Chain A
Amino acid sequence: MSVSNPNWKPKIVAFCCNWCSYAGADLAGSGRMAYPADVKIIRVPCSCRVNPLFILRAFERGADGVIMCGCHPGDCHYTSGNYFARRRMTMLFSMLDYLGIERGRTRVEWVSAAEGAKFSKTMNEFVKTIYDLGENRKLGDLRCKK
């Protein structure tokens, strides 16, 4: 998709769970591993806290990509939260795909507290995908834009 505005910068929302991925992001920071500033992190207690509506709401308010990070399956701080989150996100992504929304605007990645390098790599990849896809036009809601 062509980018109409040459100054366009993507808005990317990353939901990170408090126990693994947020700590992973922290480690990426203290380890001086760069990731793009387009990514805005929202800390959640568990990936299971991410209601599918949060993701839709982010798109509605103008996000171009949304990524959710949580503990690796089996390592959830609350035992089973990310298992439920996994099913929910699978269903949501499938529905977005069914409605013809570009693949790649949504992603789930499991990042542990020790994986600062993985966090940085994932974010760099994801931001690149969003740059390639261009502005999100299919899922936004102009009524929400100021």
Chain B
Amino acid sequence: MWDFLNLFSVPVLETSIRLATPLLLACLAGLFSERAGIFDIGLEGKMLIAAFFSAAISFNTGSVWLGLGAGILASVTLSIIHGLASITFRGNQLISGVAINFLAAGMTVLIAQSWFKQGGRTPQLEGAARFNPIEFPFAETFMPVPVAGPVYASLIGGHALLVYVAIAMVPLTWWVLFRTRFGLRLRAVGENPAAVDTAGVSVVGLRNAAVLICGVLCGLAGAYLATALQAGFVKDMTAGRGYIALAALIFAKWRPWYALAACLLFGYLQAIALRPDLLTAAFGFKVQIQLLDALPYILTVVILAGFVGKAIPPRAGGAPYVKER
């Protein structure tokens, strides 16, 4: 019994939240883009380049805020390229995304090697060059209280600022998409751009706005990876998180609150994969780590196949909009 409850102990859940944060930010980034009809498989690349520039500039200036700005700027630059390819030149959005992922994977190592000469990584970040955990008031005092104490100290409190930003982004995204005129138009442009165009609203403008928002959110995700979750950039540090975020987006059927749930679930799977001993104790046999690694992808394929509820993407997704002449 206790062995089973250990799977949901405070440290495991705390790790889940930390690992879910970059997924959540990237997932919401993809949500904006795909709701506007622009497929984005370049989430991975944008996170990666943001991770590098945030770590590099944080290290050079000693200020994590400047690092965050640089990370967002780098990610937005890639977003602009994606917008140029898929909106302005009506190219294939998927191919553009693939190119962006490779561009980021190559450029980060190239620049890191040229700047720091440490084999494609940045030096360790310390102090003000990182987003440090925020201690909640009286956390120490309440610590001895059973359950509630540790939950207050390290599950609710004790995270880096960007964790709270990510969670706050969920209601904000919901509000923007479903309660503002901009959101209504943005969703419309992903379903039926011709109708939006007929109403006299710029399809190109809306889609570019969505792609830029996507860039900013991916920038936050990457900066969180390099300056909060870890202390510096290492080669390929996103490690497929952009694709897991994409999977979470499908799992959530392109809706913000479901995205939070999906990312927490996938974050939990990542967290539990770090503690195979707990799994063995709980179930009495050895659970393969590889199965846990593959689980988000398998679940997504099952959802996509429509065996457990149907995931229907925005109708105009992936198709460039050609104005009638």
Q: Do A and B come from one complex?
A: no
Name B residues whose Cβ lies closer than 8 Å to a Cβ of A: none
